Structure 1
Amino acid sequence: MKLYSTKNHNLSVDFETAVFNSLPADKGLYMPTFLPLLDTEVIANWDKKSLQEIAFDLAYALLKDDITAEELKAIVDEAANFEAPLVPLDKDVFVLELFHGPSLAFKDFGGRFMSRIMSHFLKKEHKEIRILVATSGDTGGAVALGFLNVPGIKVTILYPKGKVSLIQELQLTTNGNNIEALEVDGTFDDCQALVKQAFLDKDLNEKYNLTSANSINISRLIPQMFYYANSYARLKNQFKDVTFVTPSGNFGNIAAGMIAHKMGLPVKQFIAATNSNDIVPQYLTTGVYTARPSVQTLANAMDVGDPSNFVRILDLYGNDKVELEREFSSIAFDDSQIKQAIVKVYQEKGYIMCPHTATAYLAIEAEKAAGNQTAENAYVMLSTAHPCKFPDVFEELNIAYEIPSSVDELYHKERQQKPMTKHFEDFKTYLLGEG
């Protein structure tokens, strides 16, 4: 697979280069120069295949020139070795549960796939790398568990002080070995800015082979296509159309689904549900994209004031807002609405949604209230994290949930985070001072 920069379509690098560079020098994002169309017969037979088999079809279509079929199948089978079940919430509404992996969040798909892709290339090149990753909550845990004890890789995770839940923080800070966590006195946007500046710093790049595990890295998006395709396969014999509703912060998750759509995955509509960080809904309303500092909400992994991956979505549609809006919309909800949705669904359906999932539910309610649903359309709302990651929310709402055994174990581990300011010179000095 060859890739270009969203700021320079004449650029061409191979997949391995894009994986380890993460960002082009011009500060754009890598995108495939060509998206292969999936054979319609292959898609037609997906209802007879497992998640892992569907995942291989997608991955091989993109990476067959970079990794052998045998090696890629082993990577896919190991990375996606847990299920993503569809749970019916209503006759036409389904919850896609993406929290059955090790870190209890959807980002396990990306973290595990990326770590194995990097390990594959590192074994051939005999080199070591340093991963820098900013997290607003769930990315860090997925990356930490995905890369823990992977030879040749050291991971530095930056997270905003006081703006992640206790369980999210424990998943970031209790690993040790090749995983370190920096507690940044700032917001997620400050963490992300530090990472981006580091990639472009000459001194740091002379000392380290730097790369990222955020959704800015193209290898994170590929495995996120898997569960969109698998969901379609489970529903295609019941419904003519499928609409995916995705809780969106940095917009990598929904970008992955839209890339799969461009490869032939039949999807009627994509809806990005956001919290009060409503930069994209505002853009669709006004036509003006205005980044701003993120605000803290209950759905903390979505607290992003300048979503990096939205440029990928725009690029997919030739930066044509009119064309984009034929298949994409976005709507925002505040904390009070999120709480009300969690309580309503629990009382009426007995189902517990995390705050992120609640934004997706609210978006579906808004669509139906506007009269946009049909009997032939299924709504799939992506449930991106286990409720246990938000103990304060559910304590306030007086809703009890089952705590996974892996979470109980975290409380007995020692935290090892290090404090960091939001100033790049301090971050740079820290990195350069390490051996």
Structure 2
Amino acid sequence: MELVNLKVAEERVNFATAVKTGLGQQQGLFFPEHIQPMQDVQGLLDKPLVERSVVILRHLLGDELDDATLNSIVGNAFNFPARVEAVSEQIHCLELFHGPTLAFKDFGGRFMAQCLANISAGEPITILTATSGDTGAAVAHAFHGIDNINVVILFPKGKISPLQEKLFTTLGGNIHTVAIDADFDACQSLVKTAFDDPEVRQGLHLNSANSINISRLMAQVCYYFEAFAQLPESARNQVVVSVPSGNFGNLTAGVIAKVLGLPIKRFIAATNVNDTVPRYLRTGEWQPKKTVATLSNAMDVSQPNNWPRIEAMLQRGEIQPDEIVGESVDEDYTQVAMKQLAKLGYLSEPHAAVAFRALTKQLQEGETGLFLGTAHPAKFRESVENVLGQPIALPPALVDVAGKEGLSVDIANDYAALKKFMFDRLGK
């Protein structure tokens, strides 16, 4: 699999190199120069998740991983279901929160960890990543206890739900968590600065597990096929997919699935009031604003890092501009959507509610709507209970961590302080 740096076209690497390095020169994203559509997509949908995913990933990756290795990686990574649940006659939810940390990022995080453990062959690696919520837990659990791999997770102090935080700040061992006194965009900026610092990048063998890492995206492509496999065959040519979007890795994976041949009619890029992409799709002007804190905090991103990958597919004509529409949902309508879902007998949380609201606004007669449920409602227990006025039970994964002490370290939004922390903690 040859990947090109979208900022420095001369830099071309294979999948293994892209997974190990994360970002390319000038913080460029690695991406295939061309995505070849697959044959017999209908036949693929008849296969079970793991078997189908091996075929999809073999198509994308080429022969870099042998059959035994790829089968082992996928089997170990995707050992939990993705379920499609009917919310109404016309609308379904793809539930991606049945993994160990109750969020969609378990798919990408576990696949990346398995890939990196195989590719690195015991060489020391430091994973440095920023999280606006679910990435932290998924990455922490995926890499926890893996020899010779340390993980440093930056998160915005006080801006993610307490239970989300407990899922990744209580592990210890090779998992190091840092609360930054700033928003997610600032955390992401610190990660990028570290990757531009040769002393840190080379001295700590730096890698990133954010959705900018190509392995994460490859894994996420697979659950879009799983969703279609569970939908009625008669509805598969009229499916509109609403994706709750923050850093836009999830939507990027969906677009890749469409380019591969999955017959998605169009996408809705559903954001909260941090609406850089919906405004861009309307006006053609890229104008990020200051990030605003919302109920759907994992989507509080004003400068989404994955958008250049979608832009590349648009520019190459692999997807047409009218096949992606943007929809911004404010706080009031987020709460309205949560209540509407509850009246339909479906308990949900703010991120999925944003996608549901955007879908109901855009869906046309004769179409089937699919919105992504990216996290278990209990991960946002406080906001869900406040909006709905009723208590919700905690699943076992959250009960286990609720009473544990967080082990994170507080650091100011200062790169020098972060660099010192990493070398003090991890330097040899």
TM-score category of the 2 structures, normalised to the smaller one: over 0.9
For 2:179, what is the secondary structure of its paired residue? strand
C-alpha deviation, 1:20, in angstroms? 1.1
Question: Within the alignment, does 1:246 sit opposite 2:243 as a pair?
Answer: yes
C-alpha deviation, 1:58, in angstroms? 0.9
C-alpha deviation, 1:211, in angstroms? 0.4
Q: Distance in 1 between matches of 2:238 and 2:64?
A: 34
Residue by residue, what CA displacement relative to the aligned partner does 1:18-68 show, whole Å, maximum 9, x if unpaired? 11111111222110133232112xx11234211112211111111232101
Q: How does 1:35-434 map to 2 (within 5 A)?
A: 35-40=35-40, 43-123=41-121, 126-235=122-231, 237-239=233-235, 240-318=237-315, 324-347=320-343, 349-368=344-363, 373-375=364-366, 377-397=367-387, 398-434=389-425
Paired residue type of 1:82: F
User: What is the identity percentage for the equivalent residue pairs of Structure 1 and Structure 2?
Assistant: 39
**CA, structure 1 residues 292+319, in 2 after alignment: closer, same or farther (shift >3 Å)?**
farther
Residue by residue, what CA displacement relative to the aligned partner does 1:67-121 show, whole Å, maximum 9, x if unpaired? 0112101111110110011001112211100000000000000000000000011
For 1:104, what is the secondary structure of its paired residue? coil
Residue by residue, what CA displacement relative to the aligned partner does 1:154-193 show, whole Å, maximum 9, x if unpaired? 0000000110001011012100011010000000001000
Q: Distance in 1 between matches of 2:42 and 2:28?
A: 36
Q: Distance in 2 between matches of 1:196 and 1:260?
A: 28
C-alpha deviation, 1:128, in angstroms? 0.9
Deviating more after overlay: 409-418 vs 272-281? 409-418
C-alpha deviation, 1:378, in angstroms? 1.5
For 1:224, what is the secondary structure of its paired residue? helix
For 1:268, what is the secondary structure of its paired residue? strand
C-alpha deviation, 1:323, in angstroms? 6.4
Q: Distance in 2 between matches of 1:286 and 1:237?
A: 36
8 Å CA contact 1:46, 1:230 repeated in 2: no
For 2:27, what is the secondary structure of its paired residue? coil
Paired residue type of 1:234: Q
Q: Distance in 2 between matches of 1:130 and 1:230?
A: 32
Q: Distance in 2 between matches of 1:279 and 1:316?
A: 19
Q: How does 1:3-22 map to 2 (within 5 A)?
A: 3-22=3-22
**CA, structure 1 residues 374+395, in 2 after alignment: closer, same or farther (shift >3 Å)?**
closer
What are the ranges of 5 or more consecutive residues in structure 2 without an aligned counterpart? none
Paired residue type of 1:406: A
8 Å CA contact 1:157, 1:181 repeated in 2: yes
Paired residue type of 1:394: V
For 1:219, what is the secondary structure of its paired residue? helix
- TM-score normalized by the length of structure 2: 0.96
C-alpha deviation, 1:267, in angstroms? 1.1
8 Å CA contact 1:352, 1:401 repeated in 2: no
Q: Specify the alignment match of 2:24 in structure 1.
A: 24
Q: Distance in 2 between matches of 1:193 and 1:236?
A: 43
Q: Distance in 2 between matches of 1:358 and 1:103?
A: 20
- TM-score normalized by the length of structure 1: 0.95
- Runs of 4+ residues over 3 Å off in structure 1: none
Q: Distance in 2 between matches of 1:315 and 1:286?
A: 18
For 2:332, what is the secondary structure of its paired residue? helix
Q: Distance in 2 between matches of 1:283 and 1:206?
A: 36
Q: Distance in 2 between matches of 1:206 and 1:29?
A: 19
8 Å CA contact 1:189, 1:293 repeated in 2: no
What are the ranges of 5 or more consecutive residues in structure 1 without an aligned counterpart? none
Equivalences, count? 424
